[in-house]
Structure formats: C-alpha cells, structure tokens
Amino acid sequence: MKSKGTTSWIIRYQLFGKRRQYKIGGYGKGHEELLDLEDAIKFRIDCRQKLNDGLDPKLDF
C-alpha cells in the first residue's frame, strides 16, 4: 500500500502496437531505491534506447 504523499516514476510507451507502462521507482532522495529527477531522466534515456532497438525495457531490466 502506498503511503500518503508518495509518488512514483512511470514510463509509458508503445511497442508492437500495444501501449504499456513501467514503474521505474519511487520519487525522492535519501534512500537507495528512490530516484530523483536526474536519475529518472537517465533511466528513461536507457529505456528509450532499448525501445529503439525493439526491446521491451520492462522485460530487459
């Protein structure tokens, strides 16, 4: 269950004619599993490169 006031980074994309979404992590600082804006952008760039190669980023990480 999500705590009140928490947010997640989600990437939405379309691959092979199907729309998908992928939760890449929680928003914030101070914990290893949380991503700030800079880390989320880097992760999104990696996902976009995988999509350009025809790979589903959700299955590849």
Full-model pTM: 0.72
Is residue 22 exposed (0-12), middle (13-18) or buried (19+ Cβ within 10 Å)? Answer: middle
Band of pLDDT at residue 61, cut at 50, 70 and 90: low
In this prediction, residue 11 carries a pLDDT of 93
CB 35 within 8 A of CB 44: no
In this prediction, residue 55 carries a pLDDT of 92
In this prediction, residue 20 carries a pLDDT of 94
pLDDT in tens, 6-57: 788 999 999 889 999 999 888 887 777 788 889 899 999 999 999 999 999 8
